[in-house]
Structure 1
Amino acid sequence: MTVKREWTYEGTELAWLHDRLGRSVDGPGHVVSELVPEGYEAYVRIFHRFRATDGSGRSRRWQAWAKDSGVPFHPEMSHRWLRSDEPAPGPWRWAADDGVLDEHSRAALARLLATVSGEQGVYFAYDLGALLWGDHDEPLVRHGSLADLENVRESLRDALGESGPEFWWPQDRSWVVTTDYDLLSTYVGCSARTAERILTDETLEALPVTPRSRVDWDTEPPQGAATH
């Protein structure tokens, strides 16, 4: 997750957000407040759905796999907690994409947030992805409506691949969505009401988190925790 930044944010649309990111306490690993600014009523983690690598189009949810693995479906859950059910050592039959929320979850989240924000403008930003893979002098930011999300992704696909946007937020900044370029989950800061809608959406697999929740892959299952 840690990358030396080669540009500044002054004068860019990302400046307000970047200035509010960082750790509020010392501790191991990386936390939500490094991805989503503190100050929101609620925070949610949306898990990127696993897809079958055999091209069958099948998908698998984290909660079901956690149950099969005997580990809790937990806000700080790592994919490393999951037990492989492969018959022999070799490539896994299931994969989740880092840096991009799967298309079904992405569409569901965009629809849900559109009902929250109405027709106000939305910003879509590429930060570390543009730094690492694009030939740019500053973060890439596009402005439109939530309905433009897929058009924005398509317009930047040749330059940045499937990843991103890393950040999206409305004009009033009432919520922020962050998909870090090397994580398997997306994080949202929003109102308590919006969080509840995300958590109860049948398409989205999500859990509540806090600004201090770990987001990196090196977390350990809680001792004695039962699966749900």
Structure 2
Amino acid sequence: MNVEIDEIEHAIPWDLGPAPESEGHTVAELLPPGHECYLRLFHPFVPWELECSVEPVEPRTTWGALAALAGLELTPTTTWKLLEPALPDDGERRPWTVWDGDIEVSTAKDLFGILGVNSTGPYFFEFGLAAVISADDHRPHLYRSPSIEGRHAAAQRIRHRGAGWVNTPSLAWDQAQTWITCSDHDLTSTYIASTERVGQQLLDHPDLETVEVQRTTRIDDWAHEQEGGPPGQTT
């Protein structure tokens, strides 16, 4: 499917406002205030030997499944480090890994499918730090498309610039900012701001592992400390 895209001047059309006081990084550093719903979409775990792929990956497993094996409940601040008991290391490699800054293809299709039917274009796809690090001209890139499917052409453009492993935009949003997604380069989850209606559709989708968060929710590798220790430990 050929979808027109335009590369436009790099500009993010919102102000994040002041960040809440926190000992770590929070959702407020990624997404602006004013939305009805904020979600964390957990990137699925995939076989260790697979790097980023432009094809769907099988098998996959969820954070919830690994958390259960580790004797934990999945919460908004669960970190991958807490799942290490469910990721045995045989001395060479663990069976599962999770991609940071990039969403597995089937998961991305489900996510953007819901977002696309709940909004109108144009749509915007920004490739930030990953493009700065990997693309041949070392700068962010912002693309505009009349269709949500323009994200594929935008990602292909970035890969042709030298960022061969990049599939997911760092930021994506619709014209009215009904929703915004942030798949930061260093994060193993995507964070989403949306309307309540869209958020509920994402929460209800059987193949998307999502939880509701707040702008004050921590997002770093020590996020579980926000709850005073490993969250949801079961006995």
Normalised to the residue count of structure 1, the TM-score between the two structures is: 0.85
The Cα shift of 1:58 comes to 1.3
In the comparison of the two structures, how many residue pairs are matched?
214
State the distance in 2 between where 1:103 and 1:14 align: 27
Residues 1:30 and 2:25 are matched in the alignment = yes
> In the aligned structure 2, how far is the partner of 1:25 from the partner of 1:110?
29
Contact 1:105 1:203 in 2 (8 A): yes
Do 1:84 and 1:92's aligned partners in 2 also have CA atoms closer than 8 Å?
A: no
Q: Give the match for residue 161 of structure 1.
A: 164
Q: Distance in 2 between matches of 1:95 and 1:65?
A: 11
4+ residue runs of structure 1 moved beyond 6 angstroms? none
**In structure 1, what is the equivalent of residue 81 of structure 2?**
80
Q: Deviations over 1:11-38 (max 9, x none)?
A: 9453323xx2365222111100111111
Alpha-carbon distance between aligned partners in 2 of 1:51 and 1:129, rounded to the nearest angstrom: 20
Q: Which residue of 2 aligns with 1:170?
A: 174
* Residue 39, structure 1, aligned to residue 31, structure 2: no
Instruction: Give the alignment partner of residue 151 of structure 1, picking from 134, 145, 153.
Output: 153
Q: Percent identity?
A: 25
> Could you tell me whether the CA contact under 8 Å between 1:125 and 1:139 is conserved in 2?
yes
Q: Find the aligned partners of 1:69 and 1:23 in 2 and give their Cα distance.
A: 36
In the TM superposition, 1:39-188 aligns within 5 A as 39-53=34-48, 57-82=58-83, 83-86=85-88, 88-118=90-120, 120-136=121-137, 138-144=139-145, 145-158=147-160, 159-163=162-166, 164-188=168-192
3-state SS of the aligned residue for 1:213? coil
User: Hey, what does 2:205 align to over in structure 1?
Assistant: 201
Distance, in Å, in 2 between the alignment partners of 1:23 and 1:72 is 31
Cα distance in structure 2, aligned partners of 1:113 and 1:87: 38
User: Which structure 2 segments of 5+ residues have no match?
Assistant: 1-7, 51-56
TM-score by length of 2: 0.83
Instruction: List runs of 5+ in structure 1 lacking aligned partners.
Output: 1-10
Structure 1: distance between partners of 2:10 and 2:175: 11
